[in-house]
Chain A
């Protein structure tokens, strides 16, 4: 699957922009604020129906406009696919595939896969557990149709349950009302746990071998899925903690608290990892994500590398670029402030490349 053409309308700082990509490596350069990241984010948006960087749609609209539109022309084998996403300031976002609108936005997710590597990914290690859940959710929902369905189901139940717990203000309530809300959460919660567990069984070996390659086998890195559901199933958890939940005014157990423990030679990465090891760890997570998509979907995701030189040291970036040039990857979009740096690093014989330069207003120069 490759992105042939991308059209942006009022997306971030781009009023109108059209880019024609090559199937290999596409370098996008320009000064800070030119909107390089916005181009990668648009490609991410076309696959995931949301921004990689921003949970809300309104800040993505160009200042002063009341909508944005993204259009991508893809090729999957011999067939062309057109995806158009239209997001108005007021009203519902619509997603059309080859001119036909999806009934629900989520029906589109899973058709296209992207892997983004961006400077703020370091938050996967430093940030709270929600960062790591976001990574799991983003990966699984692009790969498995049913995962997103279960996640939505669980989230709806959880929101209702938490609203009820808040409204009760510590007072006990009608057990039937709890039962009515929880009966949707229970199967969804159990299923999410099962799918995440299966995911780590498959994903961890990809991750371990990717880390080994990146670090030249110096250390052993691993992932450990941590969940309340390891010891008890969902209904039991809810039953056991309901009285406490009423006092706390929120749901204290369930897959919404899941986490992943990152370890290096058996020790927690957060505490014992060096800066360099942490960077390698994050890269290995992304490489594993790539391999997981290839395995699950039988097609290479589009790799989006945002400003990798910003947070990664030159050596590691160069190693990454060599990896990128090796042909194991499919289509790649890279942004950098220096056009020459990318050109230098991406120069494998036979590799298709194309370079774009933006001026400070986001207009195309070449």
Chain B
């Protein structure tokens, strides 16, 4: 295939590196960008540039932030006795979106997975242990994926945090809202029945 512009080719290749975006979609995006006014496109480019140039990690929780401390850590109305530990900032955003949690967060930056070369030293675990010891949380909530790595990380942290005085909890796993028992997979249903809870009115 012969192309008329190296610049267009480069843009397609760059966009096609996104997850879930193939060359055809990338081409459509490039066509779209070419049709938009220049300031709009430059603004977009600048937004991307700032992700790498201006974004930093919050000194307290390790979340992505524009300043040294993120707005959640600075917010005086958040409950500083409850800490929710998550693997990535996308998990933090998912929990925040539920509006059910008013405490503060700690982002590990991944899960323990020796197979992928990730041990506790590669994650923000030392800072977590330090933080829990220093700040006397009443509860530390471990909110990880229900996978082998999530399970290993949860066990590791629960052990490490055992003697800090904080109550260690983990998010419950089970039947999705609106799901039917009949179609639930056996592992999930088995766990739900094992970890059943008292009915509360």
Q: Report A100-127 residues with CB < 8 Å from chain B CB.
A: 103-104, 107
Residues 146-191 (chain A) with a chain B CB within 8 angstroms = 149, 153, 156-157, 159-161, 163-164, 167, 174, 176-177, 179-181, 183-184
How many A-B residue contacts, CB cutoff 8 Å?
A: 47
Q: Is A338 an interface residue (CB 8 A)?
A: no
Judge if B54 is at the interface, Cβ distance under 8 Å.
no
Residue A145 CB within 8 A of the other chain: yes
Contacts of B119 in A (CB 8 A): 164, 167, 177
Are B159 and A179 in contact, with the CB atoms below 8 A?
Answer: yes
B95-128 near A? 1/0 per residue, CB < 8 Å: 0000000000000000011110101100000000
Main secondary structure on A side of the interface with B: helix
- Cα-based distance from A159 to B186 in the complex (angstroms): 24
Task: Assess whether A167 is in contact with B117, with CB atoms less than 8 Å apart.
Answer: yes
Complex CA gap A149/B185 in Å reads: 12
In contact, A157 and B148 (Cβ under 8 angstroms): yes
For A176, the chain B residues whose CB sits under 8 A away are 156, 159-160
The answer to whether A177 and B115 touch across the interface, beta carbons within 8 angstroms, is: no
CB neighbours of A160 from chain B (8 A): 113-115, 148, 152
Q: CB-CB < 8 A to A149: which residues of B?
A: 186-187
Interface residues on A, range: 20 to 34
Asked if B153 is at the interface of the complex by the 8 Å CB criterion, the answer is: yes
User: How long is the Cα–Cα vector from A153 to B159 in the complex, in angstroms?
Assistant: 21
Q: Mark B133-158, 1 if CB is under 8 A from A, else 0.
A: 00000000000000010011101100
What is the bound-complex CA distance between A177 and B122, given in angstroms?
A: 13
> Is B185 a contact of A107 with CB atoms below 8 Å?
yes
The answer on a CB contact under 8 Å between B151 and A184 is yes
The answer to whether A180 and B159 touch (CB under 8 A), given A104-B185, A160-B152, is yes
Residue of B whose beta carbon sits closest to that of A146? B186
Residue of B nearest to A156 (CB): B148
Partner of B114, one of A104, A153, A167, A184: A167
Contact of A183 among B114, B155, B186 (CB under 8 A): B155
B115 touches A180 (CB 8 A): no
Q: Which B-chain residue is minimally distant from A178 (CB atoms)?
A: B156
Closest to B158 in A: A180
Cβ-defined contact, A181 with B114, below 8 A? yes
Taking A176-B159, A177-B112 as contacts, is the C-beta distance between A145 and B152 under 8 angstroms? no
Other A-B pairs, 4, CB within 8 Å; known A157-B148, A180-B155: A104-B185, A177-B120, A177-B156, A180-B156
Interface residues of B (CB under 8 A from A): 112-115, 117, 119-120, 148, 151-153, 155-156, 159-160, 185-187
A selection of 13 A-B contacts at a CB cut-off of 8 Å is A107-B185, A145-B186, A153-B148, A156-B148, A160-B115, A161-B114, A164-B119, A167-B117, A176-B156, A176-B159, A177-B120, A180-B153, A180-B156
